[in-house]
Amino acid sequence: MKYIFSLLLLTISCSLFAQQKGAAEKLIQFSGIITDVDSNSVIPYVTITNISSKNQQYAANYKGYFSIIVRPGDILQYTAVGFTKVELTIPTEINGSQFTQMVRMKSEITYLPAVQITPWATAEEFTRDFLSLKIADDDYEIARKNLSGKSLSGMMQTLSRDAGEISNVNWRLAHDRALNKNMVQTNPLLNPFAWGKLMQQIFSGDKTRESDN
């Protein structure tokens, strides 16, 4: 009876050991997508470390997808720049050889102290530069300068004439030529009346000088 009880105990122990060994040697295809817990956007190129398998490392692709081989009970660690580290344990009881799970990571916010940058070493330098600062003209001042007589005169001398202005000048000149085409200017040297008037002015001038003497 004693030997039968020992044999039965040995059989049960071997069966339990075989089950544990089988569960430990079972391989599982673990797949998933890594996303941000706040925005649900994928996180690319996350590093996956299997702590239970001598820190063997894997990497997700640019779409946050990964597919690796693990064993039940393995502890996986997910790390990425700007995100808090996440640890995940593979369940020991998995039906089949495939396991899928979404992994969510939270962004890590680091608040840096505010830094104030000023281009002046002292308050006196700031005061001096501020008092010598030339304030830019507003729209009203710019319009007033553009419409001043000096500005308009300069633009009249430098700007070229447009087609309408040239056409008006040509039309005015043609009109003047049409009005004066029958008017002939005479030479005063050929006018006898002009000569008579000239001689009269000369004689009158001589009489004036004699009366003065």
Decide: helix, strand or coil at residue 206: helix
Percent of the chain with pLDDT over 70: 81
Residue 16 has what pLDDT?
A: 47
Instruction: Using pLDDT thresholds of 50, 70 and 90, give the confidence band for residue 135.
Output: confident
2-105 CATH, one of 2.40.30.10, 3.40.640.10, 3.40.50.1970, 2.60.40.1120: 2.60.40.1120
Helix (H) or strand (E) holding 21: helix 2-25
Residues 6+ apart with CB under 8 A from 104: 34, 35, 36, 37, 86
Instruction: Using pLDDT thresholds of 50, 70 and 90, give the confidence band for residue 52.
Output: very high
Percent of the chain with pLDDT over 90: 32
Residue 13 has what pLDDT?
A: 53
**CA distance linking residue 201 with residue 206, whole number of Å:** 9
pTM comes to 0.45
Go through the chain and tell me how many residues it has: 213
Helices (H) and strands (E) in the chain, counts: 6, 8
Q: Alpha carbon of 96 to those of 20, 31, 47, 69, 99: distances in Å?
A: 17, 14, 26, 13, 8
pLDDT mean over 86-108 = 92
Residue 1 has what pLDDT?
A: 52
C-beta of residue 130 within 8 angstroms of C-beta of residue 61: no
Check pLDDT > 90 for residue 76.
yes
Please provide the average confidence, as pLDDT, over all residues in the chain: 82
Of 64, 68, 74, residue with least CA distance to 104? 64
C-beta of residue 34 within 8 angstroms of C-beta of residue 62: no
Residue-range domain boundaries for the chain = 2-105, 147-179
| Helical residues (DSSP H) of 78-162, grouped into ranges | 123-131, 139-146, 149-158
Task: Look up residue 101 and give its amino acid.
Answer: Q
Cα 17–Cα 20–Cα 24 angle in degrees, nearest 5: 135
| Helical residues (DSSP H) of 26-180, grouped into ranges | 123-131, 139-146, 149-158, 163-179
pLDDT mean over 170-192 = 76
Decide: helix, strand or coil at residue 2: helix
pLDDT mean over 158-185 = 80
**28-36 and 98-100: which strand pairing?**
parallel
Residue 105 has what pLDDT?
A: 95
Residue 18 has what pLDDT?
A: 46
User: From the CA atom positions of the chain, what is the Rg in Å?
Assistant: 54
